[in-house]
Chains A and B, each alone.
Chain A
Amino acid sequence: MSLREETGPYFGEFGGRFVPESLIKALDELDAAYRAAKDDPTFQAELTELHRSYTGRPSILTEVPRFAALAGGARIILKREDLNHTGSHKINNVLGQALLAKRLGKTRLIAETGAGQHGVATATAAALFGMECVVYMGEVDTERQALNVARMNLLGATVVPVTHGSRTLKDAINEAMRDWVTNVDSTHYLLGTVAGPHPFPVMVRDFHSVIGNEAREQLLKSEGRLPTAVVACVGGGSNAIGIFHAFLDDDVRIVGFEAAGDGIDTPRHAATLERGRPGVLHGAKTYVLQDEDGQTIESHSISAGLDYPGVGPEHAWLRDSGRAEYLGITDDEAMQALLSLSRTEGIIPAIETAHALAGALQLAASMSPDDIILINLSGRGDKDMETAGRYFGFLKDGR
């Protein structure tokens, strides 16, 4: 059976809809509208045209030989989602859902954001479609991603710092769900990753599958072959599933790199698939970092976008079935890879993406020059200059 045909609500034992009854009507409406739109050539044509004229799709492939030489094994090719409008893959899903929200007659978009990339993309779509926009962001993240808060404000969005719980992405999702329960008639919750209740994991995956579909076709055209391995970073898992999905039925190794923070054997990491257990979080059954009682444990990563104690249910399923592997990359390994790509190729990646780059170097070292690793270069690093500047000591005066 094709692994690409899974349409939810369950992926094996994972997924489902563990949400208050108040949200079921909205989820049913969204599911029906999404299925109709999926088969509607008008909707697909509108989205494709938006991606061509606004996002800048298709994104290009860039081979990075000087970077690959650091590992001295396989060739490495990047799928350049960092070149999309707003600087990351997030816009793929946002434009799709915003078009759907318009179809549903919603006038207000709400979103959660960790690193700020999804919030910026949502604020962008709200500006483009003339909709009201509220973005929930953990207070901790508003501090470490202050520039993205300013960008969202500039775009006309209201950013609400979430001051309870761990004050990071997971609490921003809780707050967005509370808003949605209260304002569901006027509001679409534009969830930014492949987590959450059905239909979000399937719908968000489909909107991002353009990444893998393009890359597969581009590689077949330029190289006449498929890659040996496809890799991506995994927080909630949207950019990863976006590039993995096209290759699920191929003889291609698939590896996701999670944030190992200080190390997966320390208490400070976000390695949900390696160190979590199946449970229920944010409306889906999936792997969760949790204590014995099922209380969610705070995750840690230098990258706000990977700092999440859950993961999309499709990744949980791909992990358990063995189709994909998931490995950890520490903060230090990721930052070293960020520096390396910047200095060997003149491309500054997001810290999230740097986890995939570090992982690719590890894989490449044991491969041959005939092998090709395809990396989803999911975002650019401009937003991370403050963190990187401090990490490497480029910023002075105690910043």
Chain B
Amino acid sequence: MSRVTETIRAAEANGRGVLVGYLPAGFPSVDETVEALVALAEGGADIIELGIPYSDPVMDGLVIQQATNRALENGFRVRNVFDIIRAVTARVDAPILVMTYWNPVVQYGIERFAADLAAAGGAGLITPDLIPDEATEWIAASDAHGLDRVFLAAPSSTDERLQATVRLSRGFVYAVSTMGITGAREDLDAAARTLVDRLRAVGAETVCVGVGISTAEQVRDVCGYADGAIVGSLLVKTLDSDGVDGVRSVTQSLVTGTQHLKP
């Protein structure tokens, strides 16, 4: 079984959902990313989502755009992501999923990327602009190297598409909470709950909800119906303003929301 799925199952056995925390690689530097990810895991995040900075991030809001731009300006290279994964997995147990737009993987070589990711100890990929329809090569490479494939599901997806997404995903399905891009929102769309229900109805076993989540309250709400909550922009903003210790304390606060409320 995938380590990500195992992590979700273990949390469930303890009456919890999982907290998935996102930070971009190389922001503000490769070394600081390692420290921030360790703090994220020590603060209580169950799964780490490590973003590869990309010049044209169409799914991201301003906070993540600015951070990834800075990483690129500071000389981030795609291969650095494997060094970060090695350094972090040597210190903490949380599995690491890499979030990447598709072109950097295409240029690195899909098979070569999968091999290097597996060798570094990475768990798999979250692919915001790769739909299952276009993923033939990635499906083969991830099978060959035992990597997770986290595809996105949107409130606008048809049942037929949700079914294909569930069948081809491994680890979990990423339910996009709302029609929009990343960034904190005060009100989480009711659409998220409906989408998770629809994913369950077509056979999804593990579903995490992302986009717009930034408070322990929202994490609690999401963990009431999904297997986990994904937080990104808030952590990026915190790392920028309050450094590694800030990431640790914000994570500690967010993780309080993962406990299922027993009726």
A residues apposed to B, CB below 8 Å? 16-22, 24-26, 164-165, 170-171, 174, 177-178, 181-185, 277, 279-283, 285, 288, 290, 292-296
Q: Which residues of A contact B65 (CB under 8 A)?
A: 164-165
- Contact flag A21-B152 (CB < 8 Å), given A281-B56, A295-B72: yes
A21 touches B165 (CB 8 A): yes
Q: Which residues of B contact A178 (CB under 8 A)?
A: 58-59, 61, 181
Q: Which residues of B contact A171 (CB under 8 A)?
A: 56
- Contact flag A164-B66 (CB < 8 Å), given A21-B154, A288-B103, A293-B107: yes
A184 touches B156 (CB 8 A): yes
State the CA gap A16–B128 with chains docked (Å). 15
Cβ-Cβ contact count across A and B, 8 Å cutoff: 113
Distance (Å) between the CB of B30 and the closest chain A CB? 14
State the CA gap A174–B104 with chains docked (Å). 17
Q: Which residues of A contact B134 (CB under 8 A)?
A: 16-18
B103 touches A17 (CB 8 A): no
Q: Which residues of B contact A295 (CB under 8 A)?
A: 54-55, 72, 104
B103 touches A290 (CB 8 A): yes
Q: Which residues of B contact A185 (CB under 8 A)?
A: 179
Kindly report which residue of chain A lies nearest to residue B129, judged by CB atoms.
A18
Residue among A17, A24, A283, A293 with the most chain B CB within 10 A? A293
Q: Which residues of B contact A24 (CB under 8 A)?
A: 131, 154, 156-157, 161
A21 touches B106 (CB 8 A): no
Distance (Å) between the CB of A185 and the closest chain B CB? 7
Distance (Å) between the CB of A299 and the closest chain B CB? 12
21 contacting pairs across A/B (C-beta < 8 A): A17-B134, A18-B130, A21-B131, A22-B154, A22-B156, A22-B176, A25-B156, A25-B158, A171-B56, A174-B56, A178-B61, A181-B179, A181-B181, A182-B181, A279-B103, A280-B102, A283-B129, A285-B106, A290-B103, A294-B54, A294-B107
State the CA gap A22–B175 with chains docked (Å). 10
From A26, A181, A294, contact of B58 by CB (8 A): A181
State the CA gap A24–B129 with chains docked (Å). 11
Instruction: Please classify the interface of chain A as helix (H, G, I), strand (E, B), loop, or mixed, using the class held by over half of its residues.
Output: mixed
A22 touches B103 (CB 8 A): no
- Contact flag A181-B59 (CB < 8 Å), given A280-B102, A294-B104: yes
Q: How many residues of B contact A (CB 8 A)?
A: 42
- Contact flag A294-B157 (CB < 8 Å), given A18-B130, A164-B69, A182-B179: no
Add 16 more A-B contacts to A22-B176, A296-B56 (CB < 8 A).
A19-B58, A20-B59, A21-B161, A21-B165, A22-B156, A164-B62, A170-B56, A181-B58, A181-B179, A288-B103, A290-B107, A292-B107, A293-B77, A293-B78, A294-B78, A296-B55
State the CA gap A22–B181 with chains docked (Å). 10
**Contact mask B92-107 → A, CB, 8 Å, 1/0?**
0000000001111111
A280 touches B103 (CB 8 A): yes
**Contact mask B221-253 → A, CB, 8 Å, 1/0?**
000000000000000000000000000000000
State the CA gap A280–B128 with chains docked (Å). 13
Q: Which residues of B contact A285 (CB under 8 A)?
A: 106
State the CA gap A18–B58 with chains docked (Å). 11
Q: Which residues of A contact B104 (CB under 8 A)?
A: 293-295
Distance (Å) between the CB of B65 and the closest chain A CB? 6
From B62, B108, B155, contact of A293 by CB (8 A): B108
State the CA gap A290–B103 with chains docked (Å). 10
Interface residues of B in 26-62 (CB under 8 A from A): 54-59, 61-62
